[in-house]
Amino acid sequence: MRRIASALLLAGALAAQPSYDLLIKGGHVIDPKNGVDAVRDVAIAAGKIARVAENIPVSQARQVIDASGLYVTPGLIDIHVHVYTGTGQRALTGDQSVQPDAFSFRTGVTTMVDAGTAGWRNFPDFRQRIIDRARTRVLAFLNISGVGMAEKGENDEQDMDPEAAVKMAKAHADVIVGFKVAHYAKDAWPDLDNALKAGQALGLPVMVDFGYTGRNRTLDVLLRDKLRRGDIYTHCYSGHRQELLPDKKLNPAMWAGRKRGILFDVGHGGGSFYWNIAVPATEQGFWPDVISTDLHSGSMNAGMKDMVNVMSKILVLGAPLADVIRMSTWAAAQSIRRPELGHLDVGAVADVTLLRLERGNFGYIDAAGARLTADRRLVPELTIRAGRVVWDLNGLAAEDWRTFKYRPRGGPPKPSR
């Protein structure tokens, strides 16, 4: 009888235990993959999404976050950053990159994709120096240039080796999502042709920062003949490559590229987003497929600022909020072919962002320093990475100090000898 009673007591105690570690209560959930755009609760257990539903009882969770008035989204995915820092080089492969954890969570970003800062020669150093040490999920496009974005790295055709790039991508398939070309400054195509060979060999996308145009190297050839379905044209509102024609009409090559299935990415950066390009383009119905920052030490301190600032720019240009969230989550995950990311499926890793949509008088600066004034902006209130709160702007997940149980901190000073 005692054993039966003990078993019943244990069963009762286990039943009384909360089912969830964390409950996000009363927020407006936007989960584009699953077609959710309504007030819902999100429950998290063991670092995974456990349930998304209406009115989940607070008694079922150890900790509750009141998300009333906030938007609850999958963790933001920034597919164009530069985070290969610490090498000592005065280049993007070095001083101009940004340490990922120092910037990601405070901007609502849980996944960053380095856009070709490292190449097939130095990727192992990038991985051990940055990727494997970051709490942020860091993935990468591998530069077809062996040394990546070093000071003089991307114009040496002899360093563009698709076989070596494929070998490196296979060795790091868990984090390499595609190949990257950028900044090539000659009127030929060795950078892209070699990257496409590598991409074709592994069925991976190529992201193109189309550095130089000439008599032979044109946007028309790139978008009509070179890039494949699923390849990514970044800096789509830069205007540097005749994305917009002198009559302010969108270049027909842009429409042709979209029809071919090429993806268009914002890639704001320090010199690749201008109101006099973005406004006419979006007025003509040409919206990005993906929103990204082109984060580096220059862009973060200029017009770009951060992921939510770029998202806000697309929002105030007229894109519905649900589309802005989709471009920054599920569409981004699809573009890098990581369908396990960018959504709130039950069982998915619990990467979640809470955003506040503020109303007021706000100014948005482009890469030239020109301002557009608008009445809305997104603010990252709280970021959750794998079930853990990693950024909390206003203490939504924190306890009031008057009831908080502080741990003992030291004691009286020891007498000196």
Task: Give the model confidence (pLDDT) of 191-215 as tens digits.
Answer: 999 999 999 999 999 999 997 788 8
Give the separation between CA 97 and CA 85, rounded to whole angstroms: 5
Instruction: Render 218-257 in DSSP notation, one character per residue.
Output: -HHHIIIII--TT-EE--TB--TTSSB-TTSPBPHHHHHH
Q: What is the pLDDT of residues 317-336, one digit of tens each?
A: 999 999 999 999 999 999 99
pLDDT of residue 412: 63
Q: What angle do CA 27, 32, 38 make, to 5 degrees?
A: 30
pLDDT of residue 411: 63
Stretch 52-72: mean pLDDT: 98
pLDDT band at 415 (very low <50, low <70, confident <90, very high): low
Does residue 179 belong to any structural domain of this protein?
yes
Does residue 184 belong to any structural domain of this protein?
yes
Average pLDDT, the chain: 94
By residue range, what is the domain housing residue 215? 76-341+358-377
Q: Assess whether pLDDT exceeds 90 at residue 138.
A: yes
Q: What is the pLDDT of residues 29-48, one digit of tens each?
A: 999 999 999 999 999 999 99
Stretch 173-200: mean pLDDT: 96
Does residue 394 belong to any structural domain of this protein?
no
Stretch 288-310: mean pLDDT: 98
Stretch 55-83: mean pLDDT: 98
Q: What angle do CA 378, 77, 348 make, to 5 degrees?
A: 110
Q: Assess whether pLDDT exceeds 80 at residue 14.
A: no
Q: Which CATH number fits the domain that encloses residue 166?
A: 3.20.20.140
Tokens at 327, concatenated:
């471009």
The tally of CA atoms less than 13 A away on the side-chain side of residue 9 is: 6
Give the separation between CA 113 and CA 226, rounded to whole angstroms: 23
Q: Assess whether pLDDT exceeds 60 at residue 7.
A: no
Does residue 80 belong to any structural domain of this protein?
yes
Nearest CA among 169, 156, 79, 158 for reference residue 120: 169
With contact defined as beta carbons under 8 Å apart, do 218 and 254 qualify? no
Does residue 368 belong to any structural domain of this protein?
yes
Does residue 64 belong to any structural domain of this protein?
no
Does residue 45 belong to any structural domain of this protein?
no
- The better pLDDT of the pair 20, 414 is held by 20
Does residue 38 belong to any structural domain of this protein?
no
The SS3 of residue 266 is coil
Domain count, the chain: 1
Instruction: Give the pTM.
Output: 0.94
